Amino acid sequence: MEIQISFQKPIPQLEERKIKRKMEKVLKDLDCDDRELSILFTDDREMSELNSRYRAKEGTTNVLAFAMDESGAAEDGGLTLRSAMLGDVVISLDRAQQESMEFGETLQQRVETLLVHGVLHLVGYDHEKNEEEALLMEGMEKRLLALIGFKNEE
Whats the size of the chain, residue-wise?
154
Kind and range of the H or E run holding 86: strand 85-92
pLDDT band at 17 (very low <50, low <70, confident <90, very high): very high
Mean residue pLDDT of the chain comes to: 89
Nearest Cα to 116, choosing from 77, 83, 147?
A: 147
What's the CATH code of the domain at 31?
3.40.390.30
Number of domains comprising the chain: 1
In a domain, 67, yes or no: yes
The mean pLDDT value for 86-104 works out to: 96
Kind and range of the H or E run holding 127: none
- Max distance between CA atoms of the chain, in angstroms, equals 50
Nearest Cα to 82, choosing from 119, 53, 113, 122?
A: 122
The pLDDT assigned to 74 comes to: 45
- The DSSP bridge partners found for residue 90 are 40, 64
The mean pLDDT value for 73-102 works out to: 79
The mean pLDDT value for 56-78 works out to: 75
